[in-house]
Amino acid sequence: MLILLPPSEGKTPAPSGPAVDLGSLSFPQLEVARKEAMEALAEVSGREDALAVLGVGASLAHDVERNRRLATEPAAPAHAVYSGVLYGALGYAGLTPAQRRRADDWVVVVSALWGAVGFADRVPAYRLSMSASLPGLGRLAGYWRPLLAEALADRAARELVVDCRSSTYAAAYAPPPAGTVTVDVFRDRDGKRSVVSHFAKHHRGDFVRHLLTRRGKAPATPEALLAVAREKWEAELLPGTARRPHSLALVLRD
């Protein structure tokens, strides 16, 4: 199984340790592109208009300044650096050793800076969104799209893809729809269904945790994934088409 996650906006810097080794990260064919992105980000982050270009406020100026030192900043496993709501619900630190190995094997984070990294890959904290544009690279979703299509092609062809990304990060890579299931969260109130936005990250993280901690074989088809979801949630599966992936709806009722 291949579980695609978005990065968290906020990240936890490593307190100490060696810097990132681009050659050691998963999907080594992305090494040159990662180096280009890191250099472009460092250049932008030193400009007077850095905050405007990166689309962040003055309160994040320290994070932007760190972007200039990413080649020497301490790195930590991706599961420790990414620390938002989704990752809190996933709760890597509370997994057993066997469950952590499963997470390291299954989870890939699609990143504006790294393209895609495995959960155990060591990276520094940074500030960059997939919606940004960097000099020489252009819009990052477009920059990474052909590179990720090639880097992830083999795994996506062999494994069920569980896509928990936001639309911003989904724009950088589209897995084969026949074997891909997006995860959406809805709230049902008196028969009226609405999309859950603010807490969707939490429920997606909780769903990934369930996949990692449950006993039994990993689901290999969209229908099997639906059965797994129904172990804990009310869930429905909207079949995909030749161009659109399947959609798993987790339904919350008040």
Q: What is the pLDDT of residues 15-28, one digit of tens each?
A: 999 999 999 999 99
Q: What is the pLDDT of residue 187?
A: 86
* Mean pLDDT, residues 194-214: 91
What pLDDT, in 10s, does the model give residues 176-191?
Answer: 999 999 999 998 877 7
Largest CA distance in the chain: 55
Q: What is the pLDDT of residue 190?
A: 74
* Mean pLDDT, residues 78-102: 97
Q: What is the pLDDT of residue 18?
A: 97
User: Which residues, in sequence order, are CB contacts of 233 under 8 Å at separation 6+?
Assistant: 207, 250, 251, 252
Asked whether residue 220 carries a pLDDT value surpassing 80, the answer given is: yes
pLDDT band at 199 (very low <50, low <70, confident <90, very high): confident
| pTM across the whole model | 0.95
Measure CA of the first residue to CA of the last residue in the chain; give whole Å: 32
Asked whether residue 197 carries a pLDDT value surpassing 80, the answer given is: no
